[in-house]
Structure 1
Amino acid sequence: MAYLKIDLQFFSQEKTEKATPKKRQDTRKEGRVAKSADVNTAIILLFVFLFLWFFGSFLREDILKIFEISFNEYVLIGVTEQSIRLMMTDLSIQAAKVLLPIFLAAIIGALVSNYMQVGVLFTTKPLILKLERINPIQGAKRMFSARALVELLKAMLKITLVGVVTFTILWLHKEEVFRLTSTSPNTTLAVIGNLTVKMGVFTSILLIFLSIFDYVYQKYDFEKNIRMSKQEVKDEYKKIEGDPLIKSKIKERQKQMAMQRMMQEVPKADVVITNPTHFAVALKYDEETMEAPQVVAKGVDYIALKIKTIAETNDVVIVENRHLARALYKEAEIGDTVPEQLFQAVAEVLAYVYRLKQKI
């Protein structure tokens, strides 16, 4: 009879678990976030064309000024090194006046779109060169992956819809376009600018609508890529909470330190009440600073024996009282005052201790 061996570790390595908060935080620090480039492109285009819609008339005057100076002045000057330098400098300044506001609108759009998707994030890790990025085998896998197919279909859809929007706007304004050959340069520039802005705004709105679906897909793909196996979740939990063996050692060390501090308080006690062999409770009382006697140490068996040994070494009075020792051990913790119901019994013990010390 044949048996089929199954490696159970295979199942533990399957990435079926959602990413933990720590994994998400580490991934974010690396610059890996759910982000759609289409959202960035669409919002940047919308900001630029809205800027042109509202402020295009001011830019038109600057553009016409460039043409006017070029055709009226620059064609008449002599061609020398100095004249060309001055001409290029002047044209660069005029072009900057036109382009810089557009660039500023694009930058604002980029910041807004990134903030909407990932919030505030500054990291240089995505800029670090990684050899696997230039690996031809990995590159071929990316080219023929399901993600590449989705990107191809997405690009074809965008080209088709943008073409439809552009054609529709031109068709609706075909009469204005046909009259451009008989209009003035100022009117021609105004009509072309108006049509361009309209095509840009409507195309941007359409791209924003499409980019919503792309962002949903990118979010899904990102969540799938950062999934963790059950073993990875366990390992991460161990790193966060600490290895159980190390934690037990830390607790043991803390217990030892607490024990040492407790034993250091025994010589300062006024009395140690014992069982006599199983329980030992050390009490201290100062009329000026304490409202009631305080438990400074307690223990059973070996610890009780150690408390009594230290008390004997430091001439602390030891009183045997079985019921009181058990009651104090059960009712009060180290640092607590004696419970009210035990005041009378403790007071009698302390009175005995004080009388004993006076006789000594």
Structure 2
Amino acid sequence: MNLNTNEDKTEQPTEHHIKKFQKKGKTRYSRELNSLLILISGMLGLWFLRDQIFVQFSQIMHNSFCFDKKTILLNEKNILFNLFLILKKILIIFFPFFLCLIITCVFPSILFSGIKFGFKSFQLNFKKINPLDGFKRIFSKKILIEFFKIVLKLLIITCIFLLYLKIFFNEIFLLNTKNIISASFCGWNFIVSFCFIIISGLIPVVLLDVIWQKWAYYKKIKMTRQEVKNDFKEQEGNPYVKMKIRQLMKLNLRKRMIIDVAKSDVVITNPIHYSVALKYDMYKMNAPKVVAKGVGDLAIKIQRVALKHKVPIISSPLLSRSLYRYSEIGHYIPGSLYKAVAEVLAWSWKVKKWRKEGGNFPQEPKDISIPSDLIYTGETKK
């Protein structure tokens, strides 16, 4: 909610704010541009299909006036059948033309005007049918601009029509002196050329409308400073919800860690306050990886899971604290600790062999050396 309604909208809109506007159906859509593209597409379609249209319509006209009176006029079914054939031919002739128009209606509006399809713009809004609001919209700035555009287009088309008629009046007047085919081709050329001149005359109006729509759109979606703050808060979400999400993520990570402890090769302990579980596969890994680590109650739980699944546990306070401080779960251990960890892993493999073959229990490695820069005294976490 905007707390200061009188505050000026001076801030640039955020991406989140623009997306919300687009979902509501509010875009920089220019109807004039879309109308111009439809006109151009339609005229080009008629121009390239002119020979086919002229030939097909000539055949239709010829077949319509040349018929057998007995079989056609006296039989109602034949009349309907011939009418159906004529309509079918017309549809076939104009199918590419209509297809071109449909494509022009849809795709340019999406590409150039930034239209996003949504259902919010189709929702029922009783404010739109309020007579008072409707009366205000009639005399709004937007309606006045639309009225000015219509008057300007009518003025341009009228001027072009009068000038074109003045220049080609004699040629148009003499069309009745030519045969049907020649007059038809000449008339077609006059119509098409006139339409293209009209379209050319409307291009400046369309350009002005595109610039105006873009300017009005960005002016409308500008934000106040308070709106920007509220938008960032909305994107960041409720702090309570975020805290709950973080708690769930930590809980899932802890569950995953406990599962991975059972698959580890060795657990290095403090022996009470710190526990770090390592795994190493010489054929798949470049170095040992930390699969779980914890302090306090979590450290105790890691040791219990290790005991349950017969994972070797070794007490090495300096190494366990260094691994806890300078390594991350799922990552390789620091290179400086390779030698110390190698001694521990060698012992764990001997323990696994002892469990299979028996004999004397392997002696734990003593005086495991830790580089001075990785010695971590740590703090006990309960």
Call closer, same or farther: CA 1:171–1:65 in 2, change over 3 Å.
farther
Call closer, same or farther: CA 1:82–1:250 in 2, change over 3 Å.
same
Pick from 175, 179, 188 the counterpart of residue 174 of structure 2.
Answer: 179
Task: Give how far 1:213 is off.
Answer: 2.0
In the alignment, the residues of structure 2 paired with residue 303 and residue 196 of structure 1 have an alpha-carbon distance, to the nearest angstrom, of 89
The AA in structure 1 aligned to 2:104 is V
Call closer, same or farther: CA 1:72–1:229 in 2, change over 3 Å.
same
In the alignment, the residues of structure 1 paired with residue 206 and residue 278 of structure 2 have an alpha-carbon distance, to the nearest angstrom, of 75
Pick from 95, 98, 108 the counterpart of residue 100 of structure 2.
Answer: 108
Call closer, same or farther: CA 1:88–1:325 in 2, change over 3 Å.
closer
Q: Does 2:59 match 1:46?
A: no
Contact 1:17/1:230 (8 A) holds in 2: yes
Give the TM-score normalised by structure 2.
0.66
Contact 1:62/1:94 (8 A) holds in 2: no
Alignment map for 1:272-287 (pairs within 5 Å): 272-274=268-270, 279-282=273-276
Alignment map for 1:68-217 (pairs within 5 Å): 82=75, 86-87=78-79, 90=82, 93-94=85-86, 97-98=89-90, 101-102=93-94, 104-112=96-104, 114-119=106-111, 123=117, 125=119, 130-217=125-212
Contact 1:42/1:205 (8 A) holds in 2: no
Task: Give how far 1:158 is off.
Answer: 0.9
In the alignment, the residues of structure 2 paired with residue 311 and residue 201 of structure 1 have an alpha-carbon distance, to the nearest angstrom, of 83
Task: Give how far 1:199 is off.
Answer: 0.9
Give the TM-score normalised by structure 1.
0.69
In the alignment, the residues of structure 2 paired with residue 19 and residue 158 of structure 1 have an alpha-carbon distance, to the nearest angstrom, of 33
In the alignment, the residues of structure 2 paired with residue 197 and residue 324 of structure 1 have an alpha-carbon distance, to the nearest angstrom, of 88
Task: Give how far 1:330 is off.
Answer: 3.3
Question: Equivalent residue of 2:28, what SS?
Answer: coil
In the alignment, the residues of structure 2 paired with residue 145 and residue 70 of structure 1 have an alpha-carbon distance, to the nearest angstrom, of 54
The AA in structure 1 aligned to 2:210 is Y
Task: Give how far 1:170 is off.
Answer: 1.5
In the alignment, the residues of structure 2 paired with residue 193 and residue 312 of structure 1 have an alpha-carbon distance, to the nearest angstrom, of 91
Bigger Cα displacement from structure 2, 55-64 vs 155-164: 55-64
In the alignment, the residues of structure 1 paired with residue 51 and residue 280 of structure 2 have an alpha-carbon distance, to the nearest angstrom, of 90
In the alignment, the residues of structure 2 paired with residue 271 and residue 114 of structure 1 have an alpha-carbon distance, to the nearest angstrom, of 64
Task: Give how far 1:166 is off.
Answer: 1.5
Bigger Cα displacement from structure 2, 340-349 vs 26-35: 340-349
In the alignment, the residues of structure 1 paired with residue 147 and residue 281 of structure 2 have an alpha-carbon distance, to the nearest angstrom, of 87
Contact 2:72/2:79 (8 A) holds in 1: no
Aligned-pair identity in percent equals 24
Pick from 206, 209, 214 the counterpart of residue 219 of structure 1.
Answer: 214
In the alignment, the residues of structure 2 paired with residue 267 and residue 51 of structure 1 have an alpha-carbon distance, to the nearest angstrom, of 70
Contact 2:34/2:109 (8 A) holds in 1: no
The AA in structure 1 aligned to 2:339 is F
Contact 2:153/2:202 (8 A) holds in 1: yes
Alignment map for 1:30-45 (pairs within 5 Å): 31-45=25-39
Call closer, same or farther: CA 1:357–1:202 in 2, change over 3 Å.
same
Larger RCO (CA under 8 A, 6+ residues apart):
1
Contact 1:34/1:219 (8 A) holds in 2: yes
Bigger Cα displacement from structure 2, 349-358 vs 146-155: 349-358
In the alignment, the residues of structure 2 paired with residue 72 and residue 99 of structure 1 have an alpha-carbon distance, to the nearest angstrom, of 22
- Could you report, residue by residue, the CA deviation over 1:56-80 in whole angstroms, capped at 9, with x for unpaired residues? 3554455556666666769x88998
Call closer, same or farther: CA 1:38–1:97 in 2, change over 3 Å.
farther
Call closer, same or farther: CA 1:210–1:196 in 2, change over 3 Å.
same
Q: Which residue of the partner structure matches residue 343 of structure 1?
A: 339
Call closer, same or farther: CA 1:357–1:169 in 2, change over 3 Å.
same
Call closer, same or farther: CA 1:12–1:312 in 2, change over 3 Å.
farther
- Could you report, residue by residue, the CA deviation over 1:39-91 in whole angstroms, capped at 9, with x for unpaired residues? 232232233333444443554455556666666769x88998855x7557645
Contact 1:285/1:294 (8 A) holds in 2: yes
Pick from 244, 250, 267 the counterpart of residue 245 of structure 2.
Answer: 250
Task: Give how far 1:216 is off.
Answer: 2.2
- Structure 1, unaligned stretches of length 5 or more? 1-7
Task: Give how far 1:198 is off.
Answer: 1.5
Call closer, same or farther: CA 1:281–1:205 in 2, change over 3 Å.
same
In the alignment, the residues of structure 2 paired with residue 53 and residue 17 of structure 1 have an alpha-carbon distance, to the nearest angstrom, of 49
Task: Give how far 1:15 is off.
Answer: 4.8
Call closer, same or farther: CA 1:212–1:97 in 2, change over 3 Å.
farther
